[in-house]
Amino acid sequence: MDIPYLSGGERCEVPQGFLDALRERFGARCSSAQAVRDHHGRDESPYPPMPPDAVVYAETTEEVAWVARLCNEHRVPLIPYGAGSSIEGHLLAIRGGISLDLSGMNRVIAVNAEDLTVTVQAGVTRKQLNEEIRDTGLFFPIDPGADASLGGMAATRASGTNAVRYGTMRENVMNLKVVTADGRIIQTANRARKSSAGYDLTRIFVGSEGTLGIITEVTVRLYPQPEAISAAICNFPSLDSAVNSVIEIIQMGIPVARVEFLDSAAVRATNAYSKLSLRESPLLLFEFHGSPAAVKEQAVAVQDITREHGGMDFDWAERPEDRSRLWTARHNAYFAGLQLRPGSRASTTDVCVPISRLAECVSATAHELDQASFPYMIVGHVGDGNFHVLMLLDPDSREQWEESERLNRRLAQRAIDMDGTCTGEHGIGLHKKEFMLAEHGQDALDLMHALKHAFDPHNILNPGKMLP
Amino acid sequence: MDIPYLSGGERCEVPQGFLDALRERFGARCSSAQAVRDHHGRDESPYPPMPPDAVVYAETTEEVAWVARLCNEHRVPLIPYGAGSSIEGHLLAIRGGISLDLSGMNRVIAVNAEDLTVTVQAGVTRKQLNEEIRDTGLFFPIDPGADASLGGMAATRASGTNAVRYGTMRENVMNLKVVTADGRIIQTANRARKSSAGYDLTRIFVGSEGTLGIITEVTVRLYPQPEAISAAICNFPSLDSAVNSVIEIIQMGIPVARVEFLDSAAVRATNAYSKLSLRESPLLLFEFHGSPAAVKEQAVAVQDITREHGGMDFDWAERPEDRSRLWTARHNAYFAGLQLRPGSRASTTDVCVPISRLAECVSATAHELDQASFPYMIVGHVGDGNFHVLMLLDPDSREQWEESERLNRRLAQRAIDMDGTCTGEHGIGLHKKEFMLAEHGQDALDLMHALKHAFDPHNILNPGKMLP
């Protein structure tokens, strides 16, 4: 398999004394067992594992700082590891070094319900967080599908189904505790809702994919649980009619909480996997949040728009258990898709374009994929102009891999040409480094390199990722 | 007058050949006339002018790049100038050099109504922008009071009355065209609503106060003009009861578009200045946006809360002209305040705290100010936890200046101690540099210095500002 960057750069030589020092400090929480290393050298990307030399399980920020100082001194790569749910190769130890597992840092530190904020350790996952704050009447809306850790979500600037209403990690992270490359501990901000005091360190680390510092605590905004929630499904005669409905809904400023697109293949897969009986045509899955009156008002407005675009009757899911079943099915679309071709290897894309170009971008992409030699499905957080393609490849076919990479490249370039981005929410990792130049231009990339060098002069933090 | 930092650093020697080169390139658009220099060496801060050596009026991004290259080569300070409405000394040429006036770059470049975005040159002001897009049915909500330029608003991470609902420049800038210190031209992003592709260059420049690059174009989000708008005034028996109402409104998640606090002195000043007859007690000024039903629902909920806190009857301003008169009066509160003591010099503060600490912070501040030897008033964008004090000083009294600085210092520290910030929206400039260490700590400041050095190695961009 021809994977760009995977073999790029030298694998670092870890000195024996270095591992001894780690073992002495961490005991059983430092492991170089093959199974542990393999587990930490892979993620949900299509790449084969590239194991680190050792895995350290950190329990405190001070421990993280200790490891960073040691790695910095010995120039050993250091890769933070949360839930392992990256799909772009962020976690692969392409230059060896240490995988720093933060999943044990899973404590909710402070719920400030009166300020609608919560501070958690980086290893807390979004489902755990919502469980722990359930009694406060508040919730954390960012929902990338996977039960990712908050640290990982911050590091990849994650978003997901609720972003159209509540924003992404960019808008919802208020403050981070970060360990720098040389092992210092900083707070990027405070808990004020806004500030003009200095450079926006928070936003520098949000989306930095572990390359500028190691996030150990995250303070995020919470929102009151909506008084009323309703969900609905609407089928469409064509992909275009569905997407054009969304464009009009957004342009009207209707504050839908979620609007998800599934193409026919995704619906078919979801029906099979989640034992549903949705009509197998392109569909939109809506959720409305607000007061009972507001929810009704939004739903009526959306229904009017979809009807004009040929949308078939709304199918309501009012009961929490029905809603939950629908959204679970949506979240399982990835696994459902894999079943479209049992035994296949999935390659996933993720682009985002201005909403006015969305129909054109999705259509052109579907048209190309219809000629491909493998099955695919398209799902999308279309309210943001963001969609994904899941391509289901024969794992033994080099030709299919190359074909999928070619299509992925064409899609990324199409999105960039439409004044969009090669990744709306998955991040760059390894798989998208080749698009950074086309998206940003050399001069902007030079600034990114300057920033990286300023924050991590010895290039120990997740080296070889993001920047070409 | 003892002004910290004003005399800090050497004034740069501008070589004669340098000015000649500028004059040759820009002709009459390069001026070293005293009046022009004086005008560009001041802002709305209480500081005396510190004029630059010359002023250049740029008309294109390429001209800005040309000037930057020249300044970088000759190590001459370069200070971008928009509308001149800073109140923290951002524009003072404390080390001499060139003031680069961008007010002539005032063209709306592209209205993408279907994407709810607009791209403008940096010198376009917010009022001009809203005039020019009026026919689209969209509006740009960020409203810092002053008719600031969009470039300046981005550079100071401005916000204002609408931020509680629509966010600040941090959330609303989508893309910037920026000239780097060495005269290269970059785009920080694109027009996708979200992206995970690389470091967040946009947010690095938003709030950088002209110290990392010169913003020449700004793409911001627009919003559909609300179907219905209503405004109301509610008086309270005490400062605490007003602020506690706001806290509860925010905690309930009611999406008020604006909620402004005025203390009794501010109401008195506003009555006198704007010929109104508001009851002279602490008051809240609300605005609600949405469908007619949603606006009504919000207003009822807010009215219930204020009533519980002793708020007196809502006074409605339904007609656009009444609303406009109220908001104009609010925006003129600063000038109205000056009339509380004719001939006085104003010193303004700006802190922001978590909403749960707001009542405590405002009360403690008012209590201290009640002992001061000069009049004051408090106004605030209280929905964000943000408020301002206007202190009206005898311009000839060194004692009053020092007293006001002491109070300002205590207020900034109080906000920081409450996990807030020394500036919610005015920025650091010169006046707040001394609080950067207390707010961020040395290690975070070191990262900011590293970023500054990486982006502007010769320290030509607005030197001596923001970073201590």
Structurally, chain B folds into a number of domains equal to 4
The Cα–Cα gap between A210 and A287 comes to 33
pLDDT at B1: 47
The Cα–Cα gap between B290 and B417 comes to 37
Query: Is residue B2 in a domain?
Result: no
pLDDT at B269: 94
Residue at which a domain ends, from A224, A254, A286: A224
Give contacts of A 336-355 with B, CB under 8 A.
350, 352-355
* B173 and B276 part of one domain: no
Give the model confidence (pLDDT) of A254-278 as tens digits.
999 999 999 999 999 999 999 999 9
Q: Using the beta-carbon criterion (under 8 Å), do B440 and A112 form an inter-chain contact?
A: no
pLDDT at A1: 46
Query: Is residue A333 in a domain?
Result: yes
Q: Using the beta-carbon criterion (under 8 Å), do B192 and A167 form an inter-chain contact?
A: no
* B297 and B362 part of one domain: no
Query: Is residue B316 in a domain?
Result: yes
Torsion of CA A443, A446, A450, A452, to 10 degrees: 130
Beta-carbon pairs below 8 A across chains A and B:
283
pLDDT at B46: 83
Tens-level pLDDT at each residue, chain B (468 residues): 445 555 556 788 888 899 999 999 999 999 999 999 999 999 988 888 999 999 999 999 999 999 999 999 999 999 999 999 999 999 999 999 999 999 999 999 999 999 999 999 999 999 999 999 999 999 999 999 899 999 999 999 999 999 999 999 999 999 999 999 999 999 999 999 999 999 999 999 999 999 999 999 999 999 999 999 999 999 999 999 999 999 999 989 899 999 999 999 999 999 999 999 999 999 999 999 999 999 999 999 999 999 999 999 788 887 888 888 888 888 888 889 988 899 998 999 999 999 999 999 999 999 999 999 999 999 999 999 999 999 999 999 999 999 999 999 999 999 999 999 999 999 999 999 999 999 999 999 999 999 999 999 999 999 999 999
CB A24 within 8 A of CB A68: no
Hey, is the C-beta of B437 within 8 angstroms of any chain A C-beta?
Answer: no
Select the residue of A159, A184, A198 nearest B440 (Cβ to Cβ).
A198
Give contacts of A 121-180 with B, CB under 8 A.
156-159, 163, 167-168, 170-171, 180
- Residue A157: C-alpha distances to residues A169, B19, B251, B316 (Å): 5, 46, 26, 42
Give the model confidence (pLDDT) of A226-236 as tens digits.
999 999 999 99
Query: Is residue A63 in a domain?
Result: no
Give the model confidence (pLDDT) of A328-347 as tens digits.
888 888 889 988 899 998 99
The first and second tokens of residue B134, run together, are 């009026």
| Closest residue in chain A to residue B211, using alpha carbons only | A199
Residues of A in contact with B112 (CB under 8 A): 354, 356
* B187 and B234 part of one domain: no
Hey, is the C-beta of B8 within 8 angstroms of any chain A C-beta?
Answer: no
- Residues in contact with B173: Cβ distance below 8 Å, sequence separation at least 6, in sequence order: B154, B202, B206, B218, B219, B220
Query: Is residue A252 in a domain?
Result: yes
The ipTM of this complex is 0.96
**CATH code for the domain of B380:** 3.30.70.2740
* A285 and A192 part of one domain: no
* A202 and A248 part of one domain: no
**CATH code for the domain of B265:** 3.30.70.2190
Q: Using the beta-carbon criterion (under 8 Å), do A253 and B223 form an inter-chain contact?
A: yes
* A189 and A262 part of one domain: no
**CATH code for the domain of A150:** 3.30.465.10
Give contacts of A 365-384 with B, CB under 8 A.
384
Query: Is residue B86 in a domain?
Result: yes
pLDDT at B329: 86
* A167 and A283 part of one domain: no
* A309 and A422 part of one domain: yes
Give the model confidence (pLDDT) of A14-35 as tens digits.
888 999 999 999 999 999 999 9
pLDDT at B6: 56
**CATH code for the domain of A288:** 3.40.462.10
Task: Report whether pLDDT(A401) > 90.
Answer: yes
**CATH code for the domain of B66:** 3.30.43.10
* A220 and A356 part of one domain: no
Query: Is residue A287 in a domain?
Result: yes
Select the residue of B113, B180, B196 nearest A157 (Cβ to Cβ).
B196
* B121 and B139 part of one domain: yes
Hey, is the C-beta of B308 within 8 angstroms of any chain A C-beta?
Answer: no
Taking the CA atoms of chain B, what radius of gyration do you get in angstroms?
22
Q: Using the beta-carbon criterion (under 8 Å), do A192 and B385 form an inter-chain contact?
A: yes
Q: pLDDT tier at A11 (50, 70, 90 boundaries)?
A: confident
- Residues in contact with A293: Cβ distance below 8 Å, sequence separation at least 6, in sequence order: B293, B294, B297
* A181 and A283 part of one domain: no
The Cα–Cα gap between B51 and B36 comes to 9
Query: Is residue A213 in a domain?
Result: yes
User: Residue B49: which domain range?
Assistant: 16-101
pLDDT at A8: 53
Share of chain A above pLDDT 90, in %: 87
The Cα–Cα gap between B332 and A128 comes to 48
Residue at which a domain ends, from B335, B356, B382: B335
The end-to-end CA distance of chain A, in Å, is 20
Give per-residue burial for A316-326: e unless 16+ CB within 10 Å, then b: ebeeeeebebb
CB A217 within 8 A of CB A117: no
* A318 and A172 part of one domain: no
Give the model confidence (pLDDT) of A408-442 as tens digits.
999 999 999 999 999 999 999 999 999 999 999 99
